Chain A
Amino acid sequence: MIKPVKPQIKLSAWRSLLIFCLLLLGLVSLAGRAAYLQGMNHDFLQKKGESRYSRVLEMNADRGMITDRNGHILAISSPVASVYADPKMVEISPEKLKQLADLLEMDSTDISVKVDRENSRFVYLKRQVVPDIAEKIAKLKIKGIYLASESKRYYPEGEFAAHVLGFTDINDEGQEGVERGWEAMLAGELGHRRVIKNNKGQIVEDVENIREPKPGKDLVLSIDRRIQYRAHAELKEAVAVNKAKAGSVVVLDAQTGEILALTNLPAYNPNRRSTIDNERLRNRALIDTFEPGSTLKPFTVAVAIEVGKVNANTVLQTSPGTWQVGKKTIRDVSNKGELTVAQIIQQSSNVGTAKIALSLDSQTMWEMFSRSGFGALVNSGFPGEASGILRPYNKWRPIEQATMSYGHGISTSLMQLARAYTIFSSGGELKPVSLLKQDMPVMGQRVISRDTAQAMSMMLEMATKPGGTAPLAQINGYRVAGKTGTAHKLINGRYADKSYISTFVGYAPVSNPRLIVAVMIDEPSAGKYFGGAVAAPIFNGVMSNALRILNIPPDAPANNVVTFTATPEIGDEG
């Protein structure tokens, strides 16, 4: 047996030193790394860590409601969900795909095409899904398919208030009408808050509110939806009967200038955006201007009375129904002979009005038109309002002054025209129009004296009586005043032969005017085109219903007033 030899190992000193140094180096580098992470990279890492459990959530802020003057809803936002997918994450079985397609009412191949986009990380499958369906989709628990909450705008009145309200786009931003004009007020501001979630996705702690959500403010319009409905229904019927191209109706409160109804045709249904095109979108009563025709005559006569050139009984010769001014001839429909100023308004004589106009200084007439609001914005707050054209008086030629007196060579929107009539209905004051409900009485701007306004009211009432141009505007039980207008349409700067614009502006009850109704029918083509035959019946329909809706007492009752004879009853305290 060989005895194992115990080897004599002699280690050199440098080896242990080397090990020691290596270990030290390792320690130092570890300490350095730790210091680096803790000191230099602290914020970044902290964020990374927090992102594992902390989440920033959006807090929805609803868009404000729009209501009519009585608090009925005209536009309201309701929550809906949008379904979106992250194509990279999607795992879906054919069976679930079919269920999803059924719920979304989409074709399942469409969905799989969308979901298969390799290089995309976000794709909407469908927007604005109703909450019930959204809940069912959430229950399918498909990986990679998510729901985002949004809100959708509903307009219960549909097309009946379309032009007033306008609509919002898919991102909830106002595009037209009130929705756009008052966007800043209606729109809510999203809020954010930071929370801590546990591994089950439940919120366990509210860390901070980054920003409080600011819900939009509710808006109360001056519109009365009952009158709005009536106005639209009457207009619709009349436009169909007269085979007209378009039409508008404006109803104003004669005392406050509040817009009670504003409607146009053609219209659209704001709940169905596919029906919207440019023609339907136009809020004609505010953004389209036209030559008002005879509806402007009362302003010429009013200023002549105001400066003392004529009074209601001044007689003027209109025979032979034509009048030469310069190279042009002004014509009446027929030879009316001698007329008083009141009859000129009642029978709407162009020659008579032109004669009155040419007795006036052009500046005086311009001032009257200008102070009545022609050629200036109505400032209703609507986007895209038109101001119309009122040319400066120093450029008027006599023939222009003459034709302007009966509403040619000047252009206005229907809203301007309706507002201008407040000077006759409110005893001489031009009232500002407003689309928002007014709680305080509004101050008008005096244009003509109370006496002149009263004289004009009398003449305008005659126009709706037998012998006037608008007997169809008469309403049983009420005194009605108004003026017809029939103007050739200007097409490319020339008066078109067979296209007309028929208008009627009137107010009632004359003894204490409450409502102004202005009607405009564009290109009636079923035979009739005079304002008295086309527009006056619409005025009648809208006005008589509005008077009834608002319970306005008749001021010309016809033998139907119940009077009580004094028969004391037992126990009656009165």
Chain B
Amino acid sequence: MFKLNIFFVMALIVCALGVVTSQHMVRKLFMALEKEKEIEQKLEVEWGRLQLEQSTLIMHGRIEQIAKGQLGMAVPAASSIQIVSISTAENR
């Protein structure tokens, strides 16, 4: 009887230590998760910033300015536009 009790006490101690260790592991992993979440947040901020930057760069006015000013482009005059009608092109 006494031996059995000793055995149970030992088992109890082992289990208790197990609980403590797993709790510690959980907290460690949880902190890692939180860190990843923080990174996710940061990336999201970056993504928003990049989207904003992109939409600023593709602003119609800016493109027009560059096309006209730097590249010397112009909207073609009606007389210089050739129209290819779909039906004749398909019949070819």
Contacts and interface: CB of A to CB of B under 8 A. Distances in A.
Interface of A: 72-73, 76-79, 131, 154, 156-157, 160, 202-206, 225-226, 229-230, 233, 476-477, 545, 548, 553-554, 557-558, 560-564, 566, 572, 574
Most A-side CB within 10 Å, residue of B52, B55, B82, B84: B55
B27 A553 contact: no
- Which of A203, A206, A558 is most buried by chain B, counting CB atoms within 10 A of its CB? A203
A73 B45 contact: no
Contacts of B3: none
Contacts of B85: 553, 561-563
18 contacts: A76-B55, A78-B45, A131-B45, A154-B52, A156-B52, A156-B56, A160-B61, A202-B31, A203-B34, A204-B27, A205-B27, A477-B78, A553-B85, A562-B84, A562-B88, A563-B88, A566-B91, A572-B92
Nearest to B89: A564
Contact of A77 (B31, B34, B48): B48
Contact of B52 (A73, A206, A545): A73
Given A72-B55, A204-B27, A560 B81 contact: yes
Interface in B41-86: 45, 48-49, 51-52, 54-56, 58-61, 75, 78-79, 81-85
Contacts of A156: 52, 55-56, 59
Of B48, B82, B88, chain A has the most CB atoms within 10 Å of the CB of B48
B48 A554 contact: no
A564 B78 contact: no
A376 to B, nearest CB: 34
B7 interface: no
Contacts of A229: 59-61
A244 to B, nearest CB: 21
Interface residues of B, number: 30
A553 B83 contact: yes
Main secondary structure of the interface of B (DSSP, over half): helix
A560 B77 CA distance: 12
A558 B82 CA distance: 10
Tell me the dominant secondary structure on chain A's binding face: mixed
B61 A204 contact: no
Interface string B4-35: 00000000000000000000001100110010
A131 B43 CA distance: 12
Contacts of B27: 204-205
Contacts of B83: 477, 553-554, 557, 560-562
A56 to B, nearest CB: 16
The 10 closest A-B pairs by CB, nearest first: A476-B78, A229-B60, A156-B55, A73-B55, A204-B27, A564-B92, A561-B83, A78-B48, A562-B84, A562-B82
Nearest to A204: B27
